[in-house]
Amino acid sequence: MTLVSPGIQMQGFLPFDQKTRPNETALKTLAAKLRLDILTMIFEAQSGHPGSSFSCVEILLSLWFAQMRHRPDNPDWADRDRFVMSKGHGAPALYAVLMQAGYIPWEELHTLRQVHSNLQGHPASKYLNGIDVSTGSLGQGLSCAVGMALGLRLDKRPSRVYALLGDGECQEGNVWEAVMSAAHHRVNRLTAIIDRNRLQIDGSTEKIKALGELAPKFQAFGWNVLEVPGHDYTALFDALDKADAWAESSDKPTVIIANTTKGCGVSFMENQAGWHGKAPNKEQFEQAMTELDATYKALLASS
């Protein structure tokens, strides 16, 4: 499959209805291009969450381009894997991925958060294919994912369910109710991924309401647990493979704690809570685009 977006042509991606592992250099190049798209969307809208979007790009690409079985030409395919973007404020990253995968027309890139746009500030299933549940109210996505996985089990579908949560979101009590429910009902075909960038809108997660070590918490609640560097494709693929194996051999759900960097890819945004939900001004936009474009072109030249 050849995927084409403005300014990029990626070769070698196989059909998404099979679990495939694209060339890692191609994925790194695509991640760099997606960060350009994400920043363009947020700058033109003068609204959005660049830090939160940049931290989860590799996670989303690993799922949509290397793990999940889905069909852009048949988005309602009954046996597709499901994805819940529980950290709905990272929507620009998801939109950029869905554009590259063929779910959203490229001309919509410049419509983020506009009146009547399909690209709402948070994912809305009413408007877009590839989005199975609307999200944005933090703490609710994992509950939706548990319910979806139980429904698919009743329908005897082979589908897997994946949910991406923010770490600040894990301060919500509803998350831990869903964690208990998933373990109690033995929802083994569910994988949660925590975007553990350790920052939220008001600062450090540990200063706002300390999460501590998440791995032993999930283990105590009856989950299989993995912890990986969240921008490393090899580590992400290994973790997803283990989650797959556990889905067949274990009666527990799995969580992958992905240690990431808020604002990854732009020097002045990295590890800065202030860029959780703020659009850049023109000068900041140009500086960030220069950095991202240099990374993209270097990777493109090496691929």
Q: What is the mean pLDDT of the chain?
A: 94
- Evaluate whether 191 touches 162 at the Cβ level (below 8 Å): yes
Q: Would you give the distance in Å from CA 280 to the centre of its chain?
A: 22
- Evaluate whether 5 touches 99 at the Cβ level (below 8 Å): yes
In which band, very low, low, confident or very high, does the pLDDT at 10 lie, cut at 50, 70 and 90?
A: very low
In which band, very low, low, confident or very high, does the pLDDT at 14 lie, cut at 50, 70 and 90?
A: low
Per-residue confidence (pLDDT) for residue 192, from 0 to 100: 98
- Evaluate whether 138 touches 172 at the Cβ level (below 8 Å): yes
State how far the Cα of 138 lies from the Cα of 149, in Å rounded to an integer.
19
State how far the Cα of 181 lies from the Cα of 11, in Å rounded to an integer.
42
Per-residue confidence (pLDDT) for residue 13, from 0 to 100: 53
In which band, very low, low, confident or very high, does the pLDDT at 12 lie, cut at 50, 70 and 90?
A: very low
- Nearest partner of 281 among 296, 262, 270, 268, judged by Cα: 268
| In the chain, where the domains are located | 48-260
Class of domain 48-260 (CATH, top level): alpha beta
Q: Looking at this protein, which amino acid is placed at residue 169?
A: E
- Evaluate whether 41 touches 54 at the Cβ level (below 8 Å): no
- Evaluate whether 72 touches 130 at the Cβ level (below 8 Å): yes
What are 59-80's pLDDT values in tens digits?
A: 999 999 999 999 999 999 999 9
- pTM for the whole structure: 0.95
pLDDT at 5 over 60: no
- Evaluate whether 260 touches 193 at the Cβ level (below 8 Å): no
Per-residue confidence (pLDDT) for residue 1, from 0 to 100: 29
What are 271-290's pLDDT values in tens digits?
A: 999 999 999 999 999 999 99
Per-residue confidence (pLDDT) for residue 268, from 0 to 100: 98
Scan for tokens 């299933």, then name that residue: 125
